[in-house]
Structure 1
Amino acid sequence: MNSTTNLPLRRRGLLASGALAALLATVGLPACADSRLVQVDVVDRDDGQVLHVWRDHGRPVVAGRPGARYAVRLANTTGQRVLAVVAIDGVNVISGETAGVGQRGYVLEPWQRAEITGWRKSDSEVAAFEFTALPDSYAARTGRPNDVGVIGVAVFREAPQVALSAAPPVMPRPRIDGMAKAAQEPGDARDAAGEVARSAAPAMRAAPQPSERLGTGHGERETSVARTTTFDRATAQPEQTVAIRYDSLDNLVAAGIVPPPHVATTSPRPFPADPSPGYVPDPPRR
């Protein structure tokens, strides 16, 4: 698929729109400080809130609500295009393959923000991400339950475009605002971010008992229009890799990752509205 023998390998990809958000005006985190090219958040689509990030030995963890729809929000914090390969439970969200960093992903324009809301089914539809019991997750239902419970994002910068005399003239790319693009790249390297690490902390006395782990289900179909684009990676390996684990709040509390709810230390009272028996008190002194 090379356009000439001297040009980098270019692959076809998808341009996604639909529920994707508009461009970012400002950025809160400097990309140069910690190589954060893309800010990644998990959003509860039912209430619009970004899920709070807890830390388990320094690793980010979020608590999902069983049955809730969610999105992976990507924000490009740079002034150039980047490619984000997104995997849920060790599965590529565009192709459905067992995830590897060399696979298809979403291309973000400079400073762009986009919300990835589901498993891509076609150029016009996705199946919504929703938190569900592990056996009902898409990964488990397709025979791949080992990596359920993690969201992975691998980010690549775009290679500089070099003008060569032998190359055909480059046609101007149409202006596309408020959209993300998906590009296909070669390679079969396994994404290390797909590994799920469970905390070994003992359950706290006041914590709820752990229940079945959460996974990501194959929800209802939603409209999300997409088309192809091209992207030449600057490096063979990602310059940023994000792994966000998730589970139910009860399970995270039971594992000692999230503090248990406050438990009263005083003895309960049968009639809390009634004070101890007494009589009319004296008035204040003059």
Structure 2
Amino acid sequence: MTIAYLNGDYLPVTEARISPLDRGFLFGDGIYEVIPCHQGKTIGFSAHMDRMGEGLEALEIASGMSAEDWLEVVNQLLQQNATFIPSGYIGIYLHVSRGTDTRRFHAYPKDLSPTLFAFAFELANPPKCDRDEVKGLRVALAQDRRWQRCNIKSTSLLGNVMHYQHSYQSGLDETILFNAGEEVTEASSCNVFAVINGEVVTPSLDHQLLPGITRKITLQALQTANIPHRERPLTVTELKQADEVWLTSASKEISPVTEIQGQPVGNGKAGPVWYEALTAFNTIKFSA
């Protein structure tokens, strides 16, 4: 049984309780982050805090927590859950909802105390930096049906959940999404990269996709390793014809996609550029 944090208290996660009138429960009215931690070290903590701050500002929620306050929560959860998650690969989920109202009303009042929640969970081991041993991902394609503010890491994730379910019930690992113009946006819980004619391409940031922290660190790693890369629109046709495709997220780091819609990507194995990128990523991820 892991230990969670709720509004200033540390307690077993099974004992954490919120009101059914919490707007996070009723409306998905909140912001969240997932911070990956390996052997007690956080990855991209400052960037996660910046993104959380931007999301809270966009939703007009004042958490009352500084980055230093959240770091203390993260460190406490790492310490208190070390025996429950002995692998040392831990995700810390941070959640801020607008708080508990006295009625269900769409417009939000200005005087609510936000609900602050965090818990620890075990992450899968990071991908092996080995082209022969790494697990290749098999993905589906689907038109993006989510709302038009995907750049905000809102707790309202029904669209993402439905897209992920599409792949899960088909025995696949993810669903890569595209817009009405057949341009790739992102996957249901990951950002997308493709290697095209020796250049790494990832969709430019806009309201259609989340500015992923692992995405950001991956771009820094590509720069460090002098790997040609560019942010630009990426079409579905280009994706299907790419030499390599990767998904990036806090839990997947940089994972190679080896099959799209039942068709192999490249030669159906993790590619050489992926290996270079992950090697560079591993050298900077704790300092990025």
Same fold at TM > 0.5: no
More helix by share: 2
Larger RCO: 1 or 2 (CA < 8 Å, sep 6+): 1
Query: Structure 1-normalised TM-score?
Result: 0.27
Structure 2 length-normalised TM: 0.27
Bigger radius of gyration: 1
